[in-house]
């Protein structure tokens, strides 16, 4: 039995609106034979589902590739729908039947395809307004519809409607980008919403990231990208008779004020239901005060088809607890810290109000705590229209919260009338991990939730306070773990395009992407940009390499290579003798516990950490050049890497092998990136162990040292100490946070101190994934599943390292080739291991005392005499 399943085009099942005319195809193999490898494939693409019209046939292509396969020589035009199928041959001489038929449809791929214009209900006098606007246009359809597509976007955030129905389920569309160069538009199937005869299209839009409040320093600024919200829409209707028609946003549309009288990403939303005009997005509506729109701009150069992942609603949470605090607040605890919003049902008189505030924590006295939000208000106000029961949830904002305080509510509060809705980018979950230890299982959940909560269209630092920015350092620190939790390649691909745009002409990379930390002086001159810090700007190199490693997406590597090279060349140009990176503003080992009192900057010298990252990025750039067959670049950057390593050894180590900077992070980075001179490696490891002992085997590391701490210990013979660090429950440790009720990862080890007091509210997020980046060690070493090199798990390493209090671990990973499964169970000194390897891959199994290469299939092994991962 040989057959194919899970057919995908550009990572998606039957996508419409793909952003490329050269799509890539993926499939997985199902077989009852072990050691199965694809030897060839045949791919067909047809203009109709029966494959009896125009058919493009690849012929039999001898290849084992089944992930992101390009049909060479084919390029598709805008708004084309095509069907495809595939069959394969394997190494056992078997040929599969044709797969089920799948399809894909291209978006508008050329700016000249656009006939619509941006329309607005605002002029520049509305720059300070955070109110919403609604738009509408009636039109007629006289023929039988075959398919209909709406292409839509906004400067701001928007929702679209057709004949009274919401179009699609995207949240906060079109997303957060460098709007000056990239405004993404969505493609919606509206075939079933249209009808012959009269129809109406509508939009509702608000400020969003485009013109709303952003933090700059400790102040709020707005209008970073523009002063007026605007929408654009183009409806393409194809008829059964072969003809087509297009409706566009233009001067014929009208607008009015929305019931959303205030909406901001940081601050929340005010909705006055009394201002609702029933039927505004339906046929036959004759409202008051609707005016002709303003044509905001005919310039469409920034429009691009959406190429990331849409933000959608996901998990729903019912109240876990309802109580009144000592301070008198009525509070609902939803039991999980999330990004999203609350939906509620309410009944009352017109003009009565619901007011909710959102927060992550209760203070030591059990009172509702919001000081760490800084200037973000995170407040929802809903003014009732009166009459029947009303249901509301925010339209154009999201909050970071576990608790809500109900400041106003008509009548008695019934917690059953509330639910919290998690909102994040629609990433495919691809991993599972469970163990015999409940705290470890909770930690895995906490990491996953901090990832989801901070992957709201871009990789942010936090989802609650007046920040929520795409900090590049946080992104690169967590990218490995992210790729072992969810399918993140399309998510990062979209963000990396913005990174390239944000990159300065000299090659330095801003601290945040999109770069909103831009400000002019009183004369309108651009102030110096916040850019060029090592480990933050290194995201330009590290993120695309890691995405390539785990998802095999060479197109991302190709697209980002110029940016990667530009960053390394920038450092080369400003580094001392081209090798020691000791210039510019460096953030360093952020919020490390070895920082001076009141400081966020760890004790590790920034010239050491900056040079360490410079070496790593140069090494990864050389590897990328090899993958892309850029032989001269590969040779050049290999040589540069050797020079940096040599200089690092001379600068930061004595002749006797003592590391000059005696901090945990200095040792960890030197060992992790292979920077210790040969004679200094063991002494550096001994120093790290000694530094841990001096802190009763606790970490004092910050953002740079923490991700690699357990890995360095395990790789250098101290697996026992790595497990000890992981399983500690006192302060500071990962599990300490869980003992304090954490359901996400905190920004600070001591966000909530053992005595119940909190870190300064100036910088104290309880939903920050950076310290959760140890997940990649937990999954790959404790769970035992890792890709061997940058092969996207076509070559697999299965190497569980039992230790600590664990009696079993069960992990699985949905790779591009199928499910990889590993379960180990330890009884005394006996280790039982069960594994599953998907077709079209091979795995190197490494167990204590044995190593072998296995083909696909299911296997079981028993090893005796095992203690702490060793025989």
* CA–CA dist 9, 26 (Å, integer): 6
Q: Does residue 522 carry a pLDDT above 80?
A: no
The closest of 131, 136, 151, 135 to 228, measured between CA atoms, is 131
* CA–CA dist 741, 362 (Å, integer): 10
Helix/strand/coil (H/E/C) assignment for every residue in 680-709: HHHHHHHHHHHHHHHCCCCCCCCCCCHHHH
Q: 3-class DSSP state for residue 270?
A: strand
CB distance 832 to 825 below 8 Å? yes
Confidence (pLDDT) at 870: 63
Q: What is the pLDDT of residues 396-424, one digit of tens each?
A: 999 999 999 999 999 999 999 999 999 99
Domain boundaries, the chain: 2-106, 111-263+276-305, 312-425, 428-782, 785-863
Q: Does residue 66 carry a pLDDT above 90?
A: yes
Q: What is the pLDDT of residues 322-348, one digit of tens each?
A: 999 999 999 999 999 999 999 999 999
Q: Catalytic residue, from 264, 269, 426, 747: name it.
A: 747
Out of 1.10.3470.10, 2.60.260.40, 3.90.1300.10, 2.60.420.10, select the CATH number for domain 785-863.
2.60.420.10
718 CB-near residues (< 8 Å, 6+ apart): 685, 689
Q: Does the fold of domain 428-782 match that of domain 2-106?
A: no
The closest of 130, 112, 23, 30 to 69, measured between CA atoms, is 23
Q: Express as a percent the part of the chain with pLDDT over 90.
A: 93
Beta strands in 156-196 (DSSP E): 157-162, 165-167, 183-189
Confidence (pLDDT) at 528: 75
Q: What is the pLDDT of residues 133-155, one digit of tens each?
A: 999 999 999 899 999 999 999 99
Q: Tell me, yes or no, if the pTM score tops 0.95.
A: yes
Record: fold of 2-106? Immunoglobulin-like (2.60.40)
Confidence (pLDDT) at 219: 86
What average pLDDT does the structure give for the chain?
Answer: 96
* Residues 111-263+276-305, CATH architecture: Sandwich (2.60)
Q: 3-class DSSP state for residue 40?
A: strand
User: What residues are paired with 317 via a beta bridge?
Assistant: 420
Confidence (pLDDT) at 70: 97
* CA–CA dist 552, 90 (Å, integer): 21
Q: What is the pLDDT of residues 415-471, one digit of tens each?
A: 999 999 999 999 999 999 999 999 999 999 999 999 999 999 999 999 999 999 999
Q: Note if 747 is an active site residue.
A: yes
In CATH, the number for domain 312-425 is 2.60.120.260
Q: Catalytic residue, from 277, 467, 619, 814: name it.
A: 467
CATH class entry, domain 428-782: mainly alpha
Which of the 8 DSSP states describes residue 525?
P
Q: What is the pLDDT of residues 98-126, one digit of tens each?
A: 999 999 999 999 999 999 999 999 999 99
Q: Note if 814 is an active site residue.
A: no
How many helices and strands, by DSSP H and E, does the chain display?
Answer: 14, 48
**Angle, alpha carbons 491-565-10 (nearest 5°):** 25
Confidence (pLDDT) at 869: 63
**What mean pLDDT do residues 209-231 have?**
93
Confidence (pLDDT) at 299: 85
Q: Does residue 871 carry a pLDDT above 60?
A: no
């Amino acid at each position: 039995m040989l057959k194919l399943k899970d057919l995908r085009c550009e990572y998606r099942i039957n996508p419409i609106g793909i952003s490329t005319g050269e799509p890539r195809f993926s499939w997985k193999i199902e077989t009852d034979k072990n050691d199965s490898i694809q030897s060839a494939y045949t791919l067909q693409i047809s203009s109709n589902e029966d494959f009896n019209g125009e058919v493009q046939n690849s012929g039999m292509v001898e290849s084992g590739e089944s992930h992101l396969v390009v049909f060479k020589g084919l390029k598709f035009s805008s708004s084309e729908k095509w069907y495809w199928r595939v069959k394969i041959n394997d190494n056992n001489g078997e040929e599969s039947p044709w797969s089920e038929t799948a399809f894909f449809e291209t978006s508008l791929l050329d700016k000249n395809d656009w006939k619509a214009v941006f329309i607005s209900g605002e002029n520049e006098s509305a720059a300070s307004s955070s109110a919403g606007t609604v738009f509408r246009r009636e039109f007629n359809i006289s023929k039988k519809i075959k398919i209909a597509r709406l292409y839509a976007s906004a400067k701001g955030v928007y929702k679209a409607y057709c004949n009274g129905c919401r179009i699609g389920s995207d949240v906060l569309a079109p997303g957060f980008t460098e709007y000056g160069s990239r405004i993404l538009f969505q493609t919606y199937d509206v075939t079933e919403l249209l009808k012959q005869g009269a129809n109406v299209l509508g939009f509702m839009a608000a400020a969003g990231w485009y013109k709303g409040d952003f933090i700059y320093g400790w102040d709020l600024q707005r209008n970073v990208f523009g002063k007026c919200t605007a929408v654009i829409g183009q409806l393409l209707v194809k008829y059964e008779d072969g003809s087509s028609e297009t409706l566009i946003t233009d001067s014929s549309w009208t607008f009015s004020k929305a019931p959303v009288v205030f909406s901001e990403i940081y601050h929340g939303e005010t909705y006055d239901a009394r201002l609702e005009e029933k039927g505004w997005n339906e046929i036959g509506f004759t409202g008051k005060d609707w005016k002709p729109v303003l044509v905001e701009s005919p310039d469409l150069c920034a429009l691009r088809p959406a190429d990331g992942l849409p933000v959608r609603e996901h998990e729903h949470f019912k109240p876990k607890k309802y109580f009144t605090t000592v301070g008198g607040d009525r509070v609902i605890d939803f039991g999980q810290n999330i990004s999203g919003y609350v939906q509620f049902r309410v009944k009352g008189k017109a003009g009565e109000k619901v007011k909710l505030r959102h927060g992550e924590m209760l203070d030591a006295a059990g009172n509702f705590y919001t000081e760490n939000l800084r200037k973000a208000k995170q407040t929802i106000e809903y003014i009732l229209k009166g009459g029947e029961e009303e249901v509301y949830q925010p339209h154009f904002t999201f909050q970071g919260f576990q608790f809500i305080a109900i400041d106003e509510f008509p009548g008695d509060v019934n917690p059953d009338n509330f639910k919290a809705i998690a909102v994040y980018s629609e990433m495919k979950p691809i991993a599972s991990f469970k163990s015999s230890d409940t705290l470890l299982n909770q930690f895995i959940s906490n990491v996953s939730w901090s990832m989801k909560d901070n992957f709201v269209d871009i990789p942010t630092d936090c989802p609650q306070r007046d920040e929520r920015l795409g900090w590049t350092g946080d992104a690169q620190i967590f990218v490995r773990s992210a790729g072992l939790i969810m399918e993140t390649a399309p998510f990062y691909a979209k963000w990396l395009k913005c990174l390239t745009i944000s990159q300065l002409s000299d090659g330095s990379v801003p601290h945040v992407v999109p770069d909103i930390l831009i400000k002019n002086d009183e004369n309108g001159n651009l102030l110096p940009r916040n850019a060029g810090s090592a480990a933050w700007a290194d995201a330009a190199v590290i993120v695309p390499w890691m995405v390539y490693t785990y998802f095999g997406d060479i197109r991302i590597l190709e697209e980002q290579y110029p940016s990667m090279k530009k960053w390394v060349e920038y450092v080369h140009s400003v580094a001392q003798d081209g090798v020691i990176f000791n210039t510019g503003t460096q953030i360093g080992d952020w919020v490390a516990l070895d920082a001076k009192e009141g400081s966020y900057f760890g004790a590790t010298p920034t010239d050491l950490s900056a040079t360490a990252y410079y070496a790593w990025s140069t090494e990864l750039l050389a590897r990328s050049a090899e993958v892309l067959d850029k032989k001269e670049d590969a040779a050049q950057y290999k040589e540069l890497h050797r020079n940096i390593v040599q200089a690092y050894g001379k600068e930061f180590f004595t002749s006797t092998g003592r590391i000059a900077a005696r901090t945990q992070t200095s040792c960890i980075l030197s060992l992790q990136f292979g920077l210790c001179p040969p004679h200094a490696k063991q002494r550096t490891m001994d120093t790290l162990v000694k530094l841990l002992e001096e802190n009763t085997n606790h970490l004092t590391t910050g953002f740079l040292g923490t991700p690699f701490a357990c890995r360095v210990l395990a790789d250098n013979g101290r697996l026992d100490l790595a497990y000890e660090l992981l399983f500690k429950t006192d302060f500071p440790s990962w599990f300490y946070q869980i003992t304090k009720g954490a359901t996400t990862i905190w920004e600070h080890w001591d966000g909530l101190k053992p005595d119940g007091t909190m870190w300064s509210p100036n910088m104290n997020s309880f939903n920050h994934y950076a310290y959760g980046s140890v997940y990649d060690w937990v999954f790959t070493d404790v769970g035992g599943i890792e890709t061997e090199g940058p092969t996207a798990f076509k070559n697999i390493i299965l190497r569980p390292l039992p230790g600590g209090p664990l009696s079993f671990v069960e992990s699985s990973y949905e790779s591009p080739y199928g499910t990889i499964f590993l379960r180990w169970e330890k009884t005394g000194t006996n280790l039982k291991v069960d594994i599953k390897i998907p077709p079209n891959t091979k795995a190197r199994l490494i167990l204590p005392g044995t190593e072998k290469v296995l083909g696909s299939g299911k296997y079981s092994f028993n090893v005796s005499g095992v203690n702490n991962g060793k025989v």
